[in-house]
Amino acid sequence: MALITWQDSYSVGVELIDSDHQLLVSLINQLDDAMKEGGGRDTVGSVLNVLLEYTETHFGREELLMEKAGYPELPPHRREHEKLTTQVRQIVDRFNGGDASSLDAEVLDFLKTWLTGHILGVDRKYAPFVKDLTLTPEELLASMNLDLGDLDGSADDEDSFADQLAKSN
Ligand SMILES: [Fe+2]
Ligand SMILES: [Fe+2]
């Protein structure tokens, strides 16, 4: 059985955010499955790394939306994100550092609690402020924090891919 079952009550009423949250739920469930099935280090490790990356992407998107909306509670929300990111990064670092036993049911339970707790708590509060806003493709890309390197081969161009896209429009 899945560790977390998506419930209607988790919806914050903003499509982009709901699909991000569903993806995070799915990643935590995949991590749980991989561990229960005795998935190899590589499988568990890659799900963990994707979880960390997507967590950062998602938090970046939320912060951008809250910024656009002029949401007054952005600073404490951002601090909450920073705290959660640090906690997830510590879990990933411990695992990547060779301590596979550090990833246990307790950690999975922690991940479940932070995600559902954060969604039902603070995410719910900003939702009404941002529900009519959207992110442009450039903003979505920027939130993904992609390091696509040097796409056009010019060594002196330090613009990010998102910057380059924004300029080309
Ligand atoms: Fe969220
Ligand atoms: Fe959030």
25-80 pLDDT tens trace: 999 999 999 988 887 788 899 999 999 999 999 999 999 999 999 999 999 999 99
- For residue 115, report the distance from its CA to the centre of ligand 1, in Å: 8
- For residue 165, report the distance from its CA to the centre of ligand 2, in Å: 27
pTM: 0.82
- For residue 75, report the distance from its CA to the centre of ligand 2, in Å: 11
SS3 6: coil
Residue 129: half-sphere exposure toward Cβ, Cα within 13 Å: 18
* Cα three-residue angle 42-86-20, rounded to 5 degrees: 70
- For residue 37, report the distance from its CA to the centre of ligand 1, in Å: 28
- For residue 59, report the distance from its CA to the centre of ligand 1, in Å: 6
**Could you state, in order of their start, the residue ranges of all structural domains in the chain?**
14-146+156-168
* Mean pLDDT on 80-86: 96
Closest listed ligand to the CA of 73: 2
Q: Among 133, 96, 153, 143, which Cα is nearest to 14's?
A: 133
What are the tens digits of pLDDT across the range 125-134? 999 999 889 8
What are the tens digits of pLDDT across the range 92-127? 999 989 887 888 889 999 999 999 999 999 999 999
- CATH code of the domain made up of 14-146+156-168: 1.20.120.50
